[in-house]
Amino acid sequence: MYTNMLDTNSAPLRIIPLGGLGEIGLNMMVMEYDDSIIVIDCGLMFPEDYMLGIDIVIPDISYLKKNKDKVKAFIITHGHEDHTGALPFVLRDIKAPIYGTALTLGLIKEKLAEFNLDRETEFKTVRPRDTVSIGPFDIEFIRVSHSIADGVALAIKTPVGVVIHTGDFKLDQTPVDGEVLDYARFSEYGEKGVLLLLSDSTNVEREGYTVSEKEVGITFDEIFRASVGRIIVAAFSSNIHRVQQVINVAEKYGRRVALNGRSMVANVGIARELGYLKTPEGLIVDLKELDTLPPQRTSLLTTGSQGEPMSALTRMAMDDHKQIKIQKGDTIILSSKFIPGHEKAISNMMNHLYRRGAEVIYEKVSEIHVSGHASQEELKVMLNMVRPKYFIPIHGEYRHLVKHSQLAERVGVKKENIILAEDGDIVEIAGDGAAIKERIEAGKVFVDGKGVGDVVDMVLKDRKYLSQDGLVVAILALNEKTGDVIYGPDIITRGVVFEEESAGLLEGARNVVLGAIGAINLEAKTDLLEVKEEMRRALRRFFNKALERKPVILPLIIEI
């Protein structure tokens, strides 16, 4: 267990999660000592069902903006978007170098180039077991296994002790690239004494051990051996290990591989250039060549495994892809998990693929996907290797954090040394112990098109009402001096009722508006805001009583 003594005279170390503690994704952790801040990961999450029209969600970085002069670096554990995707938005306000492994930085550069931020950003490439000094922090990068190559954990030496941040990890004994998690370094730190462990909680509900990525390769082999038509594999473009296994089995059975989808083409290109993806000469062909090859000699790697509306695979399913038409005898492999909230879209896509004559293989019917996160027994191994004094579970919804806390207690971490923190909590560790001291502003910022943060909860509520209960527009012309009604009101609805068959209802709405205006005193009648609010209240009550619906009410007043 932890043996190093804390310096009772030193300033406290502050651990401040801005995302990833209370949700899956959005990972961002601030570590602050004195006048220096490092930011570990900078991720996004994809919108939930109620976030109508939202493209992505990023963390609220108000705290970083207030302390931008303290921010010394972004330390990125791996290249998944839930750890990197917010960088294009955060770097607009916070300028600091980015540290990461070669593949991680390659993927980040590609993303930042879309926002013209790649040339003005400083990149620092590191390798596992490298150590860098940033202000009061000495950071060693430790190799871990995950569902993307080149992932690392962090051992951070601070003035108050060593902090280990696992990043995302699992204990894969047979990784595709042969790079096993660095058990030795974790154990060495455990022997010397670790003050705090921050550990991935994503799979804490799963008993036992997570299946090795190589098992997917065995399933691919079975499918490729049995298939006589074209094979189309849909996977996350960042999962280079999965892509490598498709290439390996395609080569074994004499199939050429074409790439489809912008991110698939880009990420495979980056991985090949950096040496993370091994592809025999001539195996990868241009998409245009697929039609010149016999079906049993072709395969396709594509994006769109989540049924995204404009993705490559969805367009194929709808027979709307310019270059690829699904044929009878095609085998489609959805080699990824179904992200919560996407189930309906994926189901619809699969139904259309079956209508085209294809056979679809997915996680529920075949072992064509495994998780990249540690299950319960692996989490116990990590705790026993590191043997921390304090423990904070990270990366998960609240129930995951609770269950990981219980797991840590079972393997020997003292209950009083386990800190159940959420986004915005400030955890301070000093000579007198560790505890949550205060809270700061934290939460979710919505990105909608070019707008960042301009869509708030009230806007989402209006979108919800519009989608469920429709819109009512009330048009009225008033005398600007007396407030008397000159024209109207005209009541126009969209998504509420069919107007030609609801004349009586709309006449009732008109009368309600006239009654509400008639009840306003003479002085208030010349105040447009007051008149609009009275119209809105009256119509809201009317439609709620008449239809038990709450349409969005939009009063339009013309002064004459």
Q: Measured between alpha carbons, how far is residue 406 from residues 166, 198, 254, 381 in Å?
A: 18, 15, 50, 15
Cβ atoms of 404 and 204 within 8 Å: the answer is yes
Three-state DSSP at 342 gives: coil
Give the pairing of strands 137-143 and 152-158: antiparallel
Query: Which position among 200, 330, 423, 425 bears the catalytic label?
Result: 200
Cβ atoms of 560 and 479 within 8 Å: the answer is yes
Nearest to 121 by CA among 155, 156, 147, 84: 84
User: How many of the other CB atoms lie within 10 Å of CB of 465?
Assistant: 17
Cβ within 8 Å of residue 532, ≥6 positions away: 555, 557
Cβ atoms of 387 and 359 within 8 Å: the answer is no
H/E element, 378: helix 376-386
Three-state DSSP at 229 gives: coil
150: exposed, middle or buried (C-beta count within 10 Å: 0-12, 13-18, 19+)?
Answer: buried
Q: In what order do the strands lie in the sheet with 444-448?
A: 56-59, 444-448, 451-452
- Told to judge if 200 belongs to the known catalytic residues of this protein, a careful annotator would answer yes
User: How many of the other CB atoms lie within 10 Å of CB of 7?
Assistant: 12
d(CA 525, CA 259): 65
And the tokens for 208? 């036992």
| Sequence-separated contacts (24+) of 346-353 with Cβ below 8 Å | 346/305, 346/306, 346/307, 347/307, 348/307, 349/304, 349/307, 349/313, 349/314, 349/317, 350/317, 352/317, 352/318, 353/316, 353/317, 353/326
- Told to judge if 373 belongs to the known catalytic residues of this protein, a careful annotator would answer yes
Query: Which position among 78, 83, 373, 395 bears the catalytic label?
Result: 373
Report angle CA 37, 41, 44 to the nearest 5 degrees.
125
d(CA 479, CA 560): 5
DSSP per-residue string spanning 160-217: TEEEEE--S-B--SS-TTS----HHHHHHHHHH-EEEEEEE-TTTTS-S-PPPTHHHH
User: Residue 48 phi/psi, 5° resolution?
Assistant: -85, 170
Nearest to 181 by CA among 19, 364, 373: 373
- Supply the residues annotated as catalytic: 200, 373
